[in-house]
Structure 1
Amino acid sequence: MSENAAERVTKSGFVALIGRPNVGKSTLLNRLIGQKIAAVSDKPQTTRWRIRGILTRPEGQIIFVDTPGIHKPIHRMNERMMRAVEAAIADVDLLLLMTDVTESFGSGDRFVLEMVKRAGKPTFLLLNKIDRLKDKRQLLPLIDRYRREYDFVEYLPISALTGEGVDLLLQSLFEHLPEGPLYYPEGEITDQPERVLVAEIVREKLLMVTREEIPYVTAVYTESFKEENGLLRIHCVILVERESQKPIIIGKGGERLKRIGTLAREEIEFLFGKKVFLELYVKVREKWRENDALLTQLGLER
């Protein structure tokens, strides 16, 4: 932490983004920070661990914690994901419960609300995807439904995609955060290691290119990350559970893997401002979602 950051006392604190899978949490995090730091796709459970995004403004500093979508775990990997959510909730000052206004209130929403109630922390309800509504009055029954369940600090309609309502959200957050120092130097936007950022970019492009075929049985980790004469040399490993899944990722003549690599390389070059040589390998690790050592290597907390 820099000396200036340590001495400056303003509003600051930690805020967790929570909600069901695929409600737009990572899209909102990227919008709030003003730069892409979290993988985004239309697949549920794209986010698998806690991601911190740091926003510093004249009013102070907010450390946003993006969390995996809350769901009932079925694998050891999912159990770790839910522990990451619980740890995030325990460590923050405020909660942002995000819901998709285009979907009806269901059992998944109730499951999330139970976690909010157990935490007992000041919580904002974010009604996301209002850009898809023709009439904002459609929000009223949903707001009333949530109001009967919990005493939220505020009910804020937003669009993480277009940015509508985001400025009002930030204003409200700074009003409710305590006074405190800047926890990170100005200019820093995430505490994610470079290797993790790179692996997440590759995984996002993998999800984009393979679409519905095998999104949940894949993982990516960075095996090597070196800079030589201004060139970043990066080797990433894509894990699958069965030999039959490799051709789906590699594609005919390697075309699909090449497409994943090209998309990832372009984004990594933009992120780091350097030329990148990216190699991707596809390896089979049976039942990797149940392998504790491998899950730790992938960055999932115990």
Structure 2
Amino acid sequence: MELKNNTEISEFLLLGFSEEPELQSLIFGLFFSMYLITVIGNLLIILATISDSHLHSPMYFFLSNLSFADICFTSTTIPKMLVNIQIQSKVITYAGCITQMNFFNLFVMVDNFLLTVMAYDRHVAICHPLHYTIIMNPWLCGHLVLASWTMSVLYSLLQSLMTLKLSFYTHVEIPHFFCELNQVVQLSCSDTFLNYLVMYFVLVLLGGVPLTGILYSYCKIVSSICRISSAEGKYKAFSNCASHLLVVSLFYCTGLSVYLSSASTHSSHSNATALVMYTVVTPMLNPFIYSLRNKDTKRALRRLFGRKL
């Protein structure tokens, strides 16, 4: 194979899910529908949070940021795939691939940090209810969100700069529907030891620490709920954080399955399924989980639609 430097390579090929022409329309319709549901569902959560004064609280402030990140998260990958199917092309430019990978890493990490912040918010609400308004004040909430976005930007820039130093062959095929960091690094013809070292060190640091914080928060929450004497009080406390716990489980379980399937098997079908669950299905389900299990959100959505009508 002929070697080219990374500054000369002009494009990659995204192989997607299937090369069968008769399946392209089905894939297009399926992903277009899921993308619309994701965008509309998360936009409704944001609009409901802004329009209803009852939702002007730290929990819904974090939730609206999570919904915005989920919209951006899916928008970095699905539109390009839909365009490629429509024009019957698999090509993505080198600059487009790096850009897509950069924003994908950014919004994944934003989701990671926001879920951690939301776990801390639920911990304070249940374990320290009398001091909730004092601890979760607007200054702290704003700085927590700002820190989440700042660390995510720095992480994505670091990974992109590390990738820009790699060299690739002239014909590079990515066995997915978007430029995923691990896959792009695997396809490089350069020495990738430093890339993998930085990648896994940062992932353990920025992924493991937040996950540990979430687990610690929920250990404290469960301990506090167990001390509540009435069954009604226990149910109310648990329902207060059930939606977030479900979203956290979806995010980390599907994310873990992506890396486990990538490490344990060479089956592109298995990897693709895990990636779809992680990048498409989870952001699509989040607004449904929060709206269906939360009376305040459902009431705000009814008011929003009633006002529009």
Query: TM-score if structure 2 supplies the norm length?
Result: 0.23
Query: TM-score if structure 1 supplies the norm length?
Result: 0.23
Select the structure of larger CA radius of gyration: 2
Q: Which has the higher strand share?
A: 1
Q: Which has the higher helix share?
A: 2
